[in-house]
Structure 1
């Protein structure tokens, strides 16, 4: 009803997609979605249904939770930071009397060398992941806002799960 006196609405909610599937006509068999698909075919506009091909990643994406990905990333970052602290601790402890035996010193040096290599290798990868996480967070917020959902209570798995359900219904119709 955009542009009317009652206007202001220029889209649809995520929940309205499932309502198209579940709302039946007077024959109690045909859904609103069935009617829309049939109308597209009747008007030779079935090419619009090619959107199914454009959304082929929805099924895989529905299995993921944007919030969980971000939490897992934070967990990995914390583990890497802890390893950095262990490395720094070992660097400072090499002068302690406990670590002065040749065997202990050799083991600590070998451990520190490996840990230093690991940290330098993965620090660059983590920095790249940080950039991607920032982009992911922004895109998650954008898609949640696009569908008019509350970002505090909505996750991408809900959005893509609903889209997946809708796409299956379109394919079935």
Structure 2
């Protein structure tokens, strides 16, 4: 303010001032120059700010719907819940009806008997197997309705191998990240920054309207600028009303989505739900890569004279047998779960 006052009171030769001072001297001669600049800045940036906020809201809305409607994601949660209940059978943790999604990020911490195979690997292999059987069944059902002979398109059920089912299931499970693409996009949105952007925009609009209704009203010869600003304020207030209503709706949807998975805990964790699921999808992709690479292991060539024993050594153990060895605590019950899942064809 001291610098502004000095410039206002300066009555000497303006050429004696530097370029910056001459510019500011001209600026302070305009009534409410800096408030005008703030208003003009809002007029220039409003549409871009609104578009960015609306885009974030749209991503959160689609991500919430993707999570709720993903059959495969719900199937994974069901498998984790059932597996956890079987491992905790007989304890106070057994018989759980739900779990916090944060638990998904801890599945890699639970190791099997070999110290390498994780509970996540176990669950993923089970889902790959059941999804492979389901996909093969769907293929047979779809192709049986066409006029083309089925044997030309798909293997006979009796000839379908475990590798065939595994490849089908692997395609399904590894495609979950693409299915939940908007969830991963939503995980990049900072909830606090988004709310702050809405609040800042609203505050700037209120401040500009006050400037219009007070300072600008006292200037009789500024009708053109005042009319332009009046029209802008009317449009901006409509936009801001829509933004505030949309924010309330989207944040309510996000909370209800969290409650859908966690139960009505009463705690609002904001957008953390999407970050947790996104991190889990990264873990899931890695687990699928492990399964994919495990099917590409080369088979050792048996030595002469030891054909029978060498052949037996070179034949890898079946995945179900390996899983039973790694997590024997859920061996018996797991077979019941797997068969019941295979028989279900409902999405």
TM-score range, shorter chain: 0.7 to 0.9
TM-score (ref. length: structure 1): 0.76
Deviations 1:23-52 (A, max 9, x none): 221222222111111122333253762443
Q: Per-residue deviation at 1:170?
A: 0.9
Equivalent residue number for residue 196 of structure 2: 71
On the 8 A contact 2:128/2:172 being kept in 1, the answer is no
Stretch of structure 1 that moved more, 110-119 or 163-172: 110-119
Identify the match of residue 276 of structure 2 among 146, 162, 165: 162
**Residues 1-173 of structure 1: pairs in structure 2 closer than 5 A:** 9-43=96-130, 44-45=132-133, 46=169, 49=173, 50-94=175-219, 105=221, 108-148=222-262, 151=267, 154-156=269-271, 158-173=272-287
- In 1, Cα distance between the equivalents of 2:212 and 2:95? 58
- In 2, Cα distance between the equivalents of 1:31 and 1:21? 5
Q: Per-residue deviation at 1:163?
A: 0.8
Stretch of structure 1 that moved more, 10-19 or 136-145: 136-145
Segments of structure 1 that go 5 or more residues without pairing to the other structure are: 96-104
Cα 1:26–1:123 shift into 2, 3 Å:
same
- In 1, Cα distance between the equivalents of 2:242 and 2:106? 41
Q: Per-residue deviation at 1:114?
A: 2.1
On the 8 A contact 2:105/2:276 being kept in 1, the answer is yes
Cα 1:72–1:150 shift into 2, 3 Å:
farther
Count of residue correspondences: 158
- In 1, Cα distance between the equivalents of 2:193 and 2:266? 17
User: Greater RCO between the two (CA within 8 Å, min separation 6)?
Assistant: 1
Stretch of structure 1 that moved more, 163-172 or 6-15: 6-15
Q: Secondary structure of the equivalent of 2:115?
A: coil
Q: Per-residue deviation at 1:111?
A: 2.3
On the 8 A contact 2:255/2:270 being kept in 1, the answer is no
Deviations 1:97-122 (A, max 9, x none): xxxxxxxx2xx323212211221222
Q: Secondary structure of the equivalent of 1:57?
A: helix
Cα 1:150–1:25 shift into 2, 3 Å:
farther
On the 8 A contact 1:58/1:163 being kept in 2, the answer is yes
Stretch of structure 1 that moved more, 79-88 or 59-68: 59-68
Q: Per-residue deviation at 1:151?
A: 3.2
Equivalent residue number for residue 165 of structure 2: none
On the 8 A contact 1:144/1:151 being kept in 2, the answer is no
